[in-house]
Amino acid sequence: MAVVETKVKSSAAAAAVSGLALWAIGRYVFNGSGVPDVVASWVYVIVPGIITFAAGYLARHTAVAADLPLALVGTTATIASAPASPEVSAAGYPAGYPAGSYVPSPAPAPGPPAPPEEGGAGGTGAGG
């Protein structure tokens, strides 16, 4: 069974709690207070988003065994030059990946583009 990340769990729990928060706002704040309907509807849209985003943002990241350092654009570092994970199964898959699953293969970073040729025949420049 796949592991559900902590950020997903906390956001899902916050979505349930935001329902209770909206109930409390509707019962005690908007009840007979003359709040315009448009304001109430925007509150009902924005409050769950803020609560679930905050819960997901504040939750700790779930470490995954297959996390690899990423190549930086403009450098010579590649994923292939990253140290290999010592946790590899007998089938050759990183720990946490079942046999036959998709494992991203590290690809070397592309090299710099070739410089333009100078003075080649068929040019459109003036001179000669």
Give 56-107 pLDDT, tens digit per residue.
Answer: 999 988 776 666 555 545 544 444 444 455 455 455 555 555 555 555 566 6
* Domain assignment of residue 83, yes or no: no
- State the total domains in the chain: 1
With respect to residue 1, please indicate whether it lies within any of the assigned structural domains: no
Q: Does residue 41 sit within a domain?
A: yes
Cα–Cα distance for residue pair 27/35, rounded to 1 Å:
12
Assigned domain for 105 exists: no
Separation in Å, CA 17 to CA 10, 11, 47, 59, 61: 10, 10, 11, 15, 21
Residue 126 pLDDT > 80:
no
- The alpha-helical segments, DSSP class H, found in the chain are 6-24, 37-58
Instruction: Give exposure, 62-97, as e/b (b: 16+ Cβ within 10 Å).
Output: eeeeeeeeebeeeeeebeeeeeeeeeeeeeeebebb
Q: How far is Cα 61 from Cα 64, in angstroms, rounded to an integer?
A: 9
Domain assignment present for residue 30? The answer is: yes
In a domain, 117, yes or no: no
Using one digit for the tens of pLDDT, what is the confidence trace for 15-71?
998 999 899 988 888 887 788 888 888 988 999 999 999 999 999 887 766 665 555
Radius of gyration of the chain (CA): 27
What pLDDT does residue 4 have?
Answer: 80
pTM of the full structure: 0.45
More confident of the two residues 90 and 124: 124
Q: At residue 14, does pLDDT exceed 90?
A: yes
**Full domain range(s) for residue 31:** 6-58
15 domain-assigned: yes
